[in-house]
Amino acid sequence: MNERAINKLRRKFIMISMHTFTIVMLLTSGVIYLFNLHAMRKEAFSVTGEIIENGGELPVPSGGIVGHQTSMDNWYATRYFSIIYDKNGKVQDVIISHISAVGEDDAKEFGRKTLDQYFTFGSIEKYYYRVEDLEDGGKIIVFLDFSRQLKIIGRILNIALLLVTSGLVVAAFVVRILSFRLVRPEVRAAEQQKAFITNASHELKTPLAVIRANTEVETMLNGENEWNQSTMRQVDRMTGLIQNLVMIARAEENAKNSERREINVTAITRETVQTFRAVAEQEKLKLENKVRDGLVMKADESQIRQLLTLLIDNAIKYCDKNGSILVSAERRGKTIRLQVSNSYENGKNVDCSRFFDRFYREDTAHTQEDKGGFGIGLSIAESLVRQYKGTIDATWNNGVISFVCQLRG
């Protein structure tokens, strides 16, 4: 796992943790708010019921009465007014002695609005109302001022939101620290893997060199035959594999140490294509290039050459027999677009995105004899593209597969 993947894992952990924490905190705050709102509504229903039972006024509390009549403080603090209608719908009495903010005309207007409501219990502005039928056919409406309780609930909500915000800040700090601990095993594993590949490559070089030397001596003494030729081919394959593995292991180190300067992408692309013309002709493939003039970018020239080499080499290996390969380069905005396309009739049902997985080789891609690839060339190409904050994609359309690189530089 490279540094980019490790940082991506850290960001993903932080994002999931913070989203989870935010949802939990908001749900908790919402439950507290709704619980208090429900309790207030339930209390309003009970108090208005008491007022209705006592003809429009809350009875004066006494020592033997419990429930809402617990103290004189509550009795004085309760603000309400009542309207009584006769059976003809005319106002019979308006009781406003327990509230100073509402006059008789205001009370009647509230009553008129309430009679138009479908529900017999609800709220209008800062008042809870309750409508009940009387035995004589009339109606009574009680309005209870709950503005003080609403302010308290509002303060509770503000405190909850403040706690959520503060909690998020603290959680972000804690989660960030934990994320480093989370990815520490991955970092250690990546370093161990890199060290193993490097050490293994050095250990393998010696026996391969001995095998090559012995085979060359045997060839000089007894001449070439199918056995020593096969041995040399396998030695070359193993040497190439080791070089590619080391290249992957050192990709990040090379990225940090690369020397970037302004380079001529047009010239580099055309030169790289030219080096493959003989190979393409030998395989009876048509190799063309369509490169715009004047393409320049700030990059490491060796890395761009390596990227083009990997893509063109891959195209030659897996192009259809007597097929064609097209290499193009152009500028699009702030990016350089490199594209290598080749004939590939069997790619309709192939998952092209998997070509960038290490050691992945699609069997149906081998339309020609095995060219000795290891399935890591495109993985290396992807690693090179990422060093330039770019993208690389594989697409198939009408019998042609295309590898498109977008490079920033």
Is residue 194 domain-resident? no
CA geometry: angle 348, 352, 358, nearest 5 deg:
145
Do 277 and 400 lie in a common domain?
Answer: yes
Q: Of 152, 187, 214, at which residue does a domain stop? A: 152
Question: One-letter amino acid identity for 187?
Answer: V
Between helix 3-53 and helix 147-222 the angle, nearest 10°, is 160
Tell me whether residue 282 is in a domain.
yes
The letter for the amino acid at 164 is: V
Place of tokens 């594989």: 394
- Give bridge partners of residue 287 from the DSSP assignment: 325
Please check whether residues 266 and 398 belong to one and the same domain.
yes
Q: What is the pLDDT of residues 142-173, one digit of tens each?
A: 999 988 888 888 888 888 888 888 988 998 89
327 pLDDT band, cuts 50/70/90, is very high
Picking from 324, 343, 359, 326, the residue whose alpha carbon sits closest to that of residue 396 is 343
Residue 167 is predicted with a pLDDT of: 87
Residues 135 and 262 in one domain: no
Choose one of 98, 120, 152: the last residue of a domain. Answer: 152
* Token pair listed for 168: 């998020």
Q: Are residue 148 and residue 26 in the same domain, yes or no? A: yes
349-404 pLDDT, tens digit each:
787 777 777 665 555 444 444 555 546 778 888 888 888 888 999 888 888 999 99
Considering the domain boundaries, does residue 55 fall inside one? yes
Convert the pLDDT of each residue in 228-280 to its tens digit: 888 888 888 888 778 777 776 666 566 555 678 899 999 999 999 999 999 99
Boundary (domain end) residue, out of 106, 123, 152? 152
**What confidence category does residue 291 fall into, taking pLDDT thresholds of 50, 70 and 90?**
very high
- 285 burial (CB, 10 Å; 0-12 / 13-18 / 19+) is buried
CA distance 203 to 236: 16
For residue 260, give the 3-state DSSP assignment.
Answer: coil
CATH code of 270's domain: 3.30.565.10
Domain presence at residue 4: no
Residue with tokens 């100073």: 100
Residue 70 has pLDDT above 70, yes or no: no
Q: CA-to-CA distance for 386 and 5, rounded, in angstroms?
A: 11
Closest Cα partner for 308 from 286, 284, 327, 321?
327
- Range(s) of the domain holding residue 143: 9-152
C-alpha 350/C-alpha 208 separation (Å) is 36
At residue 23, does pLDDT exceed 80? Answer: yes
Cα separation, 385 vs 379, whole angstroms: 10
Does residue 271 sit within a domain?
yes
pLDDT at 118 over 60: yes
pLDDT tens, residue by residue, 177-224: 888 888 888 778 777 777 777 777 778 888 888 998 999 998 898 888
* Number of folded domains that form the chain: 2
Q: What is the pLDDT of residue 266?
A: 94
Tell me, yes or no, whether 210 lies in a domain.
Answer: no
